[in-house]
Amino acid sequence: MKALVVSATPEPQSFIASMADLSVRVLEEQGYQVAHSNLYEMGWNPVASANDFGDRKDPDYLTYALEQRHGVEGGTIAPDISAELQKLMDADLLVLNFPIYWFSVPAILKGWLDRVIVSGLCYGGRRFYDQGGLSGKRALVAATLGGRPHMFGPESIHGPIETMLRPLLQGTLAYTGMNVIEPFFGWHVPYIQPEERAQILDDYAVCLKSLDERQLLEFPSMADFSRDLHPLKPNLTETA
């Protein structure tokens, strides 16, 4: 089994760096062959642009998704994207480690998603959700935030955290077909004591060792929608 850990933190000594190191170490102990894309250390370029394509299907007008298909088919997509895409396609498990910025991923990681999860290979046409190009892979989001659990939930000020992270959990990972494991959160990290941080790392190691027992999030199935994506059975899909 192969895993890809993608991590993003501007501080190499940060808690997220420790979590990413732990991801690599524990998964290796579990028998995975692990690749680690440490985006800040790599100097990853997050900006999707015309420079991503060595040869253009339409040199006069950039439609990013169409050029992704053309670039992957012809082997002319930028080498930094190509290298990451290979790691992603090889992986049985994708782990994302990041501090939550604005209830979302830091820009450098957003740019990894924008550039690496290419149209055609990873999704397209009717190939999404359980028909997506990355079907069969599993994904784990393991992130830190300043907030505390009582600030998230149906009656709480920010609403459910899975709702805040829906563009990532549903709109990206599940959309491309991945099985999304219940995320792991390190709560209130900037404000807690070293022993509490050590406890979070212990809990995270347990999480990594027991991925098979961890719940998968539920998402739409293409079988419940018509060819043009009208719902076939209203009221059976999740409402929010």
Whole-number Å distance between alpha carbons of 194 and 138: 31
H or E element in which residue 239 lies: none
Query: Looking at beta carbons only, is 91 or 189 nearer to a copy of itself?
Result: 189
Q: What's the min distance (Å) between Cβ of 143 and a copy of itself?
A: 13
> Binding a copy of itself by CB under 8 A: which of 3, 26, 117, 208?
117
For position 11 contacting a copy of itself by CB under 8 A, the verdict is: yes
Q: Per the structure block, which two tokens stand in for 225? A: 């929608």
Token match 């991503």: residue?
Answer: 52
CA separation for the pair 55, 222 (Å, rounded): 34
Binding mask 155-194 for a copy of itself (x = CB under 8 A): xxxxxx--xxxxxx-xxx--x--------------x----
Per-position b or e across 56-88, b if 16+ CB within 10 A of its CB: ebeeeeeeeeebbbbbbeeebbbebbbebbebb
Least separation, in Å, of the C-beta of 3 and a copy of itself?
A: 22
Q: Please, which residue, 183 or 207, has the CB nearer to a copy of itself?
A: 183
CA distances from 223 to 13, 117, 229, 233 (A): 46, 24, 10, 10
**Can residue 110 be called a binding residue for a copy of itself (CB under 8 A)?**
yes
Q: CB-hemisphere CA count at 13 Å for 156? A: 15
Does residue 220 bind a copy of itself (CB under 8 A)? yes
Q: By CB under 8 A, is residue 57 in contact with a copy of itself?
A: no
Interface with a copy of itself by CB under 8 A: which residues? Answer: 10-11, 13-14, 40, 46-50, 61-65, 101-108, 110-111, 113-114, 117, 129, 146, 148, 150-151, 154-160, 163-168, 170-172, 175, 190, 220, 225, 228-231, 234-235, 237-240
